[in-house]
Each structure stands twice: as C-alpha cells, then as structure tokens.
Amino acid sequence: MLDAPVQDSFLWEYLRTVLWGCLFLTFVAGWLFLKRLPALFRSICAANWPMVQGDIESATVTAFAEQSLAQLGYSYRGEGDRYSGYFSRQFADEQDAWDYIRPLREQTIFIRYRPANPCVSTVRTSDQNPLFMARPGNVVVRFLAKSISRLL
C-alpha cells in the first residue's frame, strides 16, 4: 500500500496531465476555429454578392495524417473577365473524398464574387445543388470512429 504523500503526488500528477491535455485540446480547437473564421465571415457577407455560374476545372484529393482534403478548382466570369478559385472540404477517409468529388468533375457550380474586387469569390454550399452538398457525416466523428476501430 502506498502512503498518503505518494498517493497525493500520484493523483496530482494525473490531474495535472489531464488539465494540460484539456488545455492543449482547447488551444487546438480555438486555433482551428480562428483559422476558419475568415472563410465563414466571407461566406456570410457573400450572401449579397452577385452570383454567376462557374465551371469545375480540377478535382484533387490530398491525403495527410489519416485524413483527406478534397479540393475543387473552379473558374468563372465576373465583370467581363475570367477568374478562378478553390473550394476545399476535409474528410476523415480518402475514399469518402474521392466519392465526393467524382460526380462533381466538369460540373457547373454557382459562385459569388465581390463586385468591387471580382477576383475575390466564394462557393456557398447553400447555393449549390444537392449533389454538391452530399457529405458522409461529421469529419470529427468519422475520424474518431476510424481511429478507435484501429485500436481494437
């Protein structure tokens, strides 16, 4: 049996480790939120921007750290000139990313651009057809489920 000071020391070390872990996770979640904030703000502001039809020119999937990023390259005409941009979506599985972009290749999508600066554009999912919005669940839940199944 451990004496009281050793038990208290062990408990304190455990609690300290848990608190540091929670602090780290809070920091990462905050950083990810702040990183997505400009795109979210632009999407909200873009609700009043002119909408044009654009073409998906490229569709790629990049796998990293057991996750995947589907990226669609698009082009559009705004204020008489041709512009381009990218739309990205994260997936927990590479196959899910490929399943998402495969039907979208060479399709048309709706793009909103800033009238004062037409090279600034955004793709709002609410403007798109149902094929564009299909997504197999929450990426965080699917990533955790995939990680846990590998451990078991």
Domain boundaries, given as residue ranges, for the chain: 1-48, 50-151
Query: What is the pLDDT averaged over residues 117-142?
Result: 73
Query: Which residues lie across from 117 on neighbouring strands?
Result: 114
Burial 12-37 (b: 16+ CB within 10 A, else e): eeeeeeeeeeeeeeeeeeeeeeeeee
What pTM was estimated for this model as a whole? 0.65
Q: Return the pLDDT at 141.
A: 65
- Which tens digit of pLDDT belongs to each residue from 77-106? 988 899 999 998 888 888 888 988 988 888
pLDDT score at 152: 61
Q: What confidence score (pLDDT) does residue 146 get?
A: 65
pLDDT at 41 over 90: no
> Is pLDDT at 120 greater than 60 in this prediction?
yes
Report for 44-48, 50-54, 99-103: range of highest mean pLDDT: 50-54
pLDDT for the residue numbered 150:
65
Query: Which residue, 18, 107, 21, 103, is CA-closest to 56?
Result: 107
| 66-76 mean pLDDT | 91
